[in-house]
Amino acid sequence: MSSPCSLLECGSTDDRHFEMDDYAGKIARWCPGCGDHAILAAVHRLLAIEQLKPEKTVFVSGIGCSSRFPHYVETYGFHGIHGRALPIATGVKLARPDLDVFVTMGDGDCTSIGAGHWIHAIRYNIDMTVLLLDNNIYGLTKKQTSPTTPQGFKTNTQTKGSFLPPLNPLQTTLGVTNASFVAQTADWMPSHLAATLQAAKAHKGFSFVRILQRCPVFTPDIFAAAIKDPQVTDVLSHPDGIQDANTDKIYKSQVFHNPGDIHEARRLAEGDRVRVGLFFRDESFPRYEELRQVTKRTPEEKMAFINAELDRHAV
């Protein structure tokens, strides 16, 4: 558990102004060249742009390289167990709907052991910003096949190549009832990454952002073509989509897509073509924390409630 105590004193006024460095936690221990560094910088930038109060901001993670995020952000944080970031974050938001909640997960953490929680978190549509850092491999456990590993890619657990076609996180998310914000970006597109994070934070509901992320150690070539040649990437374009002039100057392959059209969003999510942008957004869907109001109790009332529950099981 991490906390922002060094940044503020209890009872401080709201006229504070935060710079990016104010949100920097411990020195990141990712490998040189890891895409997580770029994502962390984009998150620090987002926090500064939005001027989010450290004591009102929480980062929740599971297990994996990406899940070290709470240690590197000077806010409150919860480094959970493998695949369980979303239920922890759900509990935080239900108990404290006034907090800004972020979740960081890897592809194994989210789409494998955490898949059941992922599906239901989409359906709950709780107001939180969820980042899937997808490098197509289990990095922390040293090159095991993950659900998003390309078919035929050789790993330490499938040495002759991954047996199955990869799971598509965009298609999966778009197929779940109540999905309200689905976007994709990449760590090597810093301007687009920053704009996507801002749009996700502004959305009221479950904002799911898949970030294509380089792993220079175990999957150095998977995204090589998209990194070297901008023509390999389609940028979804629409007045209601991700607005970023810098990306438009570099990436000329533009696909006009209305993010209110979920059927077209599902079609665009198919195939091997790299597409970035806002696939779908609808703020009309109900949010679970508003439907299920949690009764507010004083600390004394909470202890009395716990003791009463314990007394029920006394022998």
Q: What is the pLDDT of residues 137-157, one digit of tens each?
A: 998 889 999 999 999 999 999
One-letter amino acid at 195 equals A
3-class secondary-structure state, position 73 = strand
Is 97 within a domain?
A: yes
Whose CA is closest to 187, among 249, 104, 261?
104
What's the confidence (pLDDT) of residue 296?
A: 74
> How far apart are the C-alpha atoms of 278 and 224, rounded to whole Å?
23
Has residue 5 been placed in a domain? no
pLDDT score of 2 more than 60: no
Six-digit token pair at 266? Answer: 């599902």
pLDDT (average), residues 227-256: 95
Q: Which domain holds residue 229?
A: 13-312
Residue 2 within any structural domain of the chain: no
In-domain check, residue 278:
yes
pLDDT tens digits for range 255-303: 999 999 999 999 999 988 999 999 999 999 999 998 887 677 788 988 9
Is position 171 within any domain?
yes
Residue 144 lies in a domain: yes
Q: Is residue 122 part of a domain?
A: yes
In terms of Cα–Cα distance, which of 158, 119, 117 is closest to 137? 158
The reported pLDDT for the residue numbered 294 is: 66
Q: How many domains does the chain have?
A: 1
What is each CA distance from 299 to 11, 103, 289, in whole angstroms? 19, 27, 21
Give the per-residue pLDDT at 7: 47
Does a structural domain hold residue 4?
Answer: no
Q: Residue 239 is part of a domain; what is its CATH number?
A: 3.40.50.970
> How far apart are the C-alpha atoms of 224 and 219, rounded to whole Å?
10
DSSP symbol at 113: I
Q: How far apart are CA 286 and CA 120, in angstroms?
A: 14
pTM: predicted TM-score of the whole model, two decimal places: 0.89
Q: How many angstroms separate the CA atoms of 2 and 179, rounded?
A: 30
